[in-house]
Amino acid sequence: MAKLQSRYVCQSCGAVTAKWLGRCESCGEWNSIIEETPRESVPGGLGQSKGLSGGRRSAGQRLEFVELQGTSEQAPRLPTGIAEFDRVCGGGLVNGSAVLIGGDPGIGKSTLLTQAVAALGSGAGGPPVKCAYISGEEAVDQVRLRARRLGLGGTNILLAAATSVRDIAASLDSQDAPRIVVVDSIQTMYVDSLDSAPGTVTQVRASAQELIRLAKRRGFALLLVGHVTKEGVIAGPKVLEHMVDTVLTFEGERGHPFRILRAVKNRFGPTDEIGVFEMTEDGLSEVANPSALFLAERRGNVSGSAVFAGLEGSRPVLVEIQALVSPSPQATPRRAVIGWDTGRLAMVLAVLEARCGLALAGNEVYLNVAGGLRIGEPAADLAVAAALVSAATDQAVTDETVVFGEIGLSGEVRAVSQADTRLKEAAKLGFTRALIPPRRARTKKRESDHGLEIREIEHLQDLVAM
Ligand code: TYD
Ligand code: MG
């Protein structure tokens, strides 16, 4: 056999090069390339391209076609009964699908999945479902201890500690395979026909591929836990994201109890829904009304604060946006943002400066979305501007006011989607005033105001002049 040559694989995108490079030419990532010995071709082994059936086939096999309108005996989706989790998945876990759950170490992924499995096993969302939880990070006793401590039970839950994909596959490849399989985490799994260490992109990809293939064949829903690297991407992210049906991220600020589950990709449901949880001593508890939670620590009329009436998926979410503006001795003053887009802040600052004559260039600017939520909507522009103007002028936006609207480069305020849903939520939470974009004439009906005093802002100047 010819000597196997080393190859160099980018741990971020999976690109292969013949020599080591400081920066991946394919994805531009620095220091992501490591040497990996290529997999040996063990006949009948768990090769990456051969699959569990192994061996080389000479002729193709006939496909087993099914009819589009054929009936399937199993329910297509398994709701866990944890509403916040099911919403993000699009109503429950789909049979034969692969879900990747990414997040920082310690954020609560294992806790979330233990609770989900326990809910499924005890039949919280429907008939009890047989589940398996395979941990590559903790011993069985540790997993059991945590479940006990959280008061979780269920007779249908099988626990195992394993890291070999071959062992896992051998145990699950049977008629009575569990309907739900959790693999915690994919970075600890390895395929023994490969020489690369567990956690390398080659191993992560091969392990995921084998497990996903098995999930499709046996029809169980596979939940893969994936750790996020310091750059905020799931290790071997791009390769894994293509392979799975659904990518969920579990995020939250350190020191904050709130955790947000978000669908980044979903073949079987919407991608803009969020699930909100609170990490407590007894595990994760669902937060059915996130607005109340995000606004809980708000102090009354203070400058530099504005409440944004946002929308996460189908659900309105009110959050406080805090800004601090202070003179800076430095030539390039600091700008720091938590929970929003830095580029978007620069744009709002530029518009305030150029179109409204508000001089902020010599100031340090800090922006924070309270509660650890990340906002992606441009609809937050006007609320950010309100917080900034309030901080710069030291005038409070009254605490009964909610704000939303997108800002254009000339300073005009633009309409945003679902204004009515946002206003309704604000009214429900006791707000009395709203600063919003101009509405089209036919929607200017009193009943759509929900009892709020509506102030339409046409241009950012109107806000500054208030
Ligand atoms: P874990 O689910 O192990 O995180 P991950 O699997 O994402 O690495 O959660 C670990 C953290 O959660 C740990 O810091 C302790 C905290 N925690 C609680 O606060 N309450 C609980 O009931 C549990 C189980 C964990
Ligand atoms: Mg864990």
Based on the fold, state whether residues 311 and 452 are members of the same structural domain: yes
Q: Classify residue 45: in a domain, yes or no.
A: no
The pLDDT value given to residue 273: 84
**And the tokens for 288?**
């059915």
Give the ligand 1 atom nearest the CA of 109. Answer: 7
How do residues 17-69 score in pLDDT, each as one tens digit? 888 888 888 888 888 888 877 655 444 444 444 444 445 556 788 887 877 77
Based on the fold, state whether residues 297 and 251 are members of the same structural domain: no
Give the ligand 1 atom nearest the CA of 103. Answer: 7
* Separation of CA 378 and ligand 1 centre (Å): 33
Structural element, H or E, at residue 264: strand 258-266
Average pLDDT, the chain: 86
Based on the fold, state whether residues 127 and 3 are members of the same structural domain: no
Q: Whose CA is nearest to atom 25 of ligand 1?
A: 283
**Helices and strands per DSSP (H, E), number in the chain:** 11, 23
Decide which of 4 and 327 is more confident: 327
Decide which of 201 and 161 is more confident: 161
The pLDDT value given to residue 242: 87
* Separation of CA 274 and ligand 1 centre (Å): 20
How do residues 67-80 score in pLDDT, each as one tens digit? 777 665 555 789 99
The pLDDT value given to residue 438: 93
Given a cut of 90, whether residue 466 has pLDDT beyond it is: no
* Separation of CA 152 and ligand 1 centre (Å): 15
Average pLDDT over residues 432-449: 77
* Separation of CA 137 and ligand 2 centre (Å): 7
**Look-up of token digits 């890291």:** 163
Given a cut of 90, whether residue 456 has pLDDT beyond it is: yes
The pLDDT value given to residue 270: 82
The pLDDT value given to residue 15: 85
Average pLDDT over residues 181-189: 93
* Separation of CA 331 and ligand 2 centre (Å): 44
How do residues 87-139 score in pLDDT, each as one tens digit? 999 889 999 999 999 988 889 999 999 999 999 998 887 888 899 999 999 99
Q: Classify residue 63: in a domain, yes or no.
A: no
Q: Whose CA is nearest to atom 1 of ligand 1?
A: 108
| Ligand 1 probe mutation, 279, 280, 281, 282, most atoms within 8 A of CB | 279
Average pLDDT over residues 212-239: 79
**Look-up of token digits 């203070």:** 302
The pLDDT value given to residue 230: 61
The pLDDT value given to residue 49: 45
* Separation of CA 105 and ligand 2 centre (Å): 7
- Mark the binding-site residues for ATP, compressed into ranges: 103-110
Please list, in sequence order, all residues whose beta carbon lies within 8 angstroms of the beta carbon of residue 45, skipping any fewer than 6 positions away. Answer: 54, 192, 193
Based on the fold, state whether residues 155 and 297 are members of the same structural domain: no
Give the ligand 1 atom nearest the CA of 107. Answer: 7
How do residues 271-327 score in pLDDT, each as one tens digit? 888 899 999 999 999 998 888 878 877 777 889 999 999 998 888 999 999 999 999
Confirm if 206 and 63 have CB atoms less than 8 A apart: no
The pLDDT value given to residue 51: 47
Based on the fold, state whether residues 276 and 323 are members of the same structural domain: no
Based on the fold, state whether residues 284 and 301 are members of the same structural domain: no
Domain tally, the chain: 3
| Ligand 1 probe mutation, 100, 111, 114, 183, most atoms within 8 A of CB | 111
Which domain covers residue 242, as residue numbers?
77-288
The pLDDT value given to residue 44: 43
Strands (E), 25-156: 33-36, 77-78, 93-94, 98-103, 131-135
Give the ligand 1 atom nearest the CA of 137. Answer: 6
- Mark the binding-site residues, compressed into ranges: 103-110
Based on the fold, state whether residues 151 and 171 are members of the same structural domain: yes
Based on the fold, state whether residues 239 and 335 are members of the same structural domain: no
- Neighbouring CB atoms inside 10 A of 70's CB total 7
Based on the fold, state whether residues 369 and 416 are members of the same structural domain: yes
**And the tokens for 414?**
């633009």
Based on the fold, state whether residues 170 and 199 are members of the same structural domain: yes
Pocket-forming residues, ligand 1, beta carbon under 6 Å = 103, 105-111, 146, 150, 279, 281-283
How do residues 351-379 score in pLDDT, each as one tens digit? 999 999 998 888 999 999 987 788 989 99
The pLDDT value given to residue 256: 80
Helices assigned H by DSSP within 260-416: 290-294, 342-356, 381-393
| 115 alpha carbon, closest ligand | 1
Read off the CATH number of the domain in which 408 is found: 3.30.230.10
Decide which of 345 and 235 is more confident: 345
Q: Rg of the chain over CA atoms, in angstroms?
A: 26
The pLDDT value given to residue 355: 92
Q: What percent of the chain has pLDDT over 90?
A: 48
Domain stops at, among 231, 256, 288:
288
Based on the fold, state whether residues 152 and 24 are members of the same structural domain: no
Q: Classify residue 122: in a domain, yes or no.
A: yes
**Look-up of token digits 């062992």:** 167
Domain stops at, among 256, 288, 320:
288
DSSP 8-state secondary structure symbol assigned to residue 419? H
The pLDDT value given to residue 3: 55
